[in-house]
Amino acid sequence: MKRVELIVIGGGPAGLSAAIEAAKTGMDVVVFDENAKPGGQLFKQIHKFFGSKEHKAKIRGYKIGQELLAEAQETGVKVVLKATVIGIYEGKEVTVMIGDAIEHYKADTIIVATGASENMVTFPGWTLPGVIGAGAAQTMMNLHGVRPGQKVLMLGSGNVGLVVSYQLLQAGCEVVALVDAAKQVGGYGVHAAKLARCGVNFYLSHTIVKAEGEEQVTGVTIGAVDQNWKVIPGSEKQFEVDTICLAVGLSPMSQLLKVAGCKMIDDPKRGGTVPTVNQYGETSVNGIFAAGDVSGIEEASSAMIEGRIAGAAAAYALGYLTKEAFEMKFKNSEDALNALRQGMFGPENKGRKDLTMTEEGILLSQSLLKKGYLAEPEVTAFPGVKTKIKGIHPVIECTQNIPCNPCQDACVKGCIKIGDHITALPIVGEDSACSGCGMCVAACSGQAIFLVDENTETGYANITIPYEFLPLPEKGELGKALDRSGTAVCQAEIVGIKSAKAMDHTNLLTMKVPANMAMTARFYKAMG
């Protein structure tokens, strides 16, 4: 039996952060992860994160993963891969399966950061090959370079469903429909808008009736549901698909904590069976902590902070941190966590369907919630959208109180204001001094910022859009401009393409469209 001061179970965002924080104090730390690669879900998250600088906003998930791994190495964390923890016993004894043998450890403190697994829903045909979790599709695409299918139907309009659908499009799949039994889009509106302007149709208040196929999925039938979640007869629609992705929530993988004898509760708001924890993530068993999704489903940014808190608490428990040092670390982390948990998507507001206004008192876009895109008359109600400005200026179609502010930092001219309240909607000043650099467009994790020159001298408007598809069009190419719903509205000519290292793979396409399309054209599609 080997003795270790801290055993961290799970090498994802929470586990690695916890290990780093503890190892920094001089503690002896081992991370066990059952996968072949550490980093948990971070390495398949190719999108930019929300939040502020301290939350690593506008950095893509896999880069955050690389940073964490480098930090872990520097601080002397020992990461053991393909190591499955199979039991936690009294006195913090831990058994780990490594290769074809069991190794026995005794820890002084344990941090469980085992994350979550995907939920499933059942319908006739749900066991057919081709019905997969959205996370599985993401793993196939972004870790293994395998396209999960050609024609995909996505069930679930939460952030996972929206983000993975977009990544399916990026991988060259066709997303034939995005279906959700709820009445409104569950995830961030900006993620939904990205899909809508690519032409993905949203079917809210719909569910899957059955999957068709003998050997594998060949089609799917969906139907509208009534208030009692029953399918309304005659409302069925059929799609030809080879893949059905399910993005219907996550469940904490908390079995090890239960094995260890921690007090558990079933909290639907946190995703299922979770340990009861104090503000440091410590469970009812002294010296056993939980961090990340295992103690309640949130996202990677908050998991990393929870990990840091638990890591510092473990260090404090063993005397590696003074009370003052620990309290200061905790206060900073808690502030960062509280900032992330604000806004209409914070845990307190989770699942609320009665929100009708933003914090600023602006009516929420009903079109966004029902169809996935902003209706044209609604757009101008928001403080990031100013029209009739001469010359180039940013148009920020950010309409929900999301904790995020990189756009404010991106503009050196100070055209964009959010202020200290991180969930406030960005404001574009009337006297915008925009130079057209496009850094705000590239910095927006929600791809919700456009540069618009409403009327160039020639009676045309120039629209600069964020573009994350390959291949890039060429300058001078003629194509179609699409509106927010993905409908082709006019001809567009590509007059500029900007790709810079600082933009981190968000390319800027500038397209020339007739001047009256300035507030309509929001996406570009090559012809043919």
Partner 1 sequence: MNKIIDRSIDLGPYWPQEDDDLIICRCEEVTKGEIRKAVHEGMVTLTEIRRYLRTGMGLCQGQTCAKLVKNIVARELKIAPNELESAVSRAPARPVEMRVLANEVITGGENHE
Q: Of 187, 272, 307, 346, which lies in the binding site for partner 1, with binding defined by CB under 8 A?
A: 272
Beta strands in 10-54 (DSSP E): 29-32
153/135 Cα distance (integer angstroms) = 14
By the rule CB under 8 A, 500 interacts with partner 1: no
For residue 203, the tally of other CB atoms under 10 A from its CB is 20
Strands 460-467, 449-453: parallel, antiparallel or unpaired by DSSP? antiparallel
By the rule CB under 8 A, 256 interacts with partner 1: yes
Per DSSP, helices labelled H in 372-460 are 376-379, 406-410, 439-443
- Cβ proximity to partner 1: between 103 and 174 the closer is 103
Peptide bond preceding 275 in cis form (omega within 30 of 0): no
For residue 429, the tally of other CB atoms under 10 A from its CB is 16
By the rule CB under 8 A, 1 interacts with partner 1: yes
Closest separation in Å from C-beta 317 to partner 1:
21
First to last CA, the chain: 66
Q: Of 233, 234, 268, 319, which lies in the binding site for partner 1, with binding defined by CB under 8 A?
A: 268
- Cβ proximity to partner 1: between 32 and 524 the closer is 32
Binding span for partner 1 by CB under 8 A among 44-52, 162-170, 182-190, 259-267? 259-267
Binding span for partner 1 by CB under 8 A among 20-28, 255-263, 345-353, 411-419? 255-263
Number of H-type helices and E-type strands within the chain: 12, 28
By the rule CB under 8 A, 160 interacts with partner 1: no
Closest separation in Å from C-beta 465 to partner 1:
40
Closest separation in Å from C-beta 222 to partner 1:
16
By the rule CB under 8 A, 505 interacts with partner 1: no
275/197 Cα distance (integer angstroms) = 41
Q: What values do phi and psi take at 204, rounded to 5?
A: -80, 160
Closest separation in Å from C-beta 133 to partner 1:
9
- Cβ proximity to partner 1: between 247 and 264 the closer is 264
Closest separation in Å from C-beta 251 to partner 1:
6
- Give the distance from CA 180 to its chain's centroid: 18
Strands 219-224, 206-212: parallel, antiparallel or unpaired by DSSP? antiparallel
Binding span for partner 1 by CB under 8 A among 1-9, 152-160, 222-230, 282-290? 1-9
CB 493 within 8 A of CB 473: no
By the rule CB under 8 A, 3 interacts with partner 1: yes
The token pair that represents 423 in the structure block: 């969930």
Restricted to residues 60-119, the positions that interact with partner 1 (CB under 8 A) are 84-89, 95, 97-98, 100-104, 106, 117, 119
392/490 Cα distance (integer angstroms) = 21
Binding span for partner 1 by CB under 8 A among 57-65, 120-128, 344-352, 428-436? 120-128
Closest separation in Å from C-beta 117 to partner 1:
5
347 DSSP 8-state letter: G
The token pair that represents 295 in the structure block: 């103690």
- Count residues binding partner 1 (CB under 8 A): 39
99/130 Cα distance (integer angstroms) = 31
Q: Give contact residues for partner 1 (rule: CB under 8 A).
A: 1-3, 34, 84-89, 95, 97-98, 100-104, 106, 117, 119-120, 122-124, 126-127, 251, 253, 255-256, 258-259, 264, 266-268, 272-273
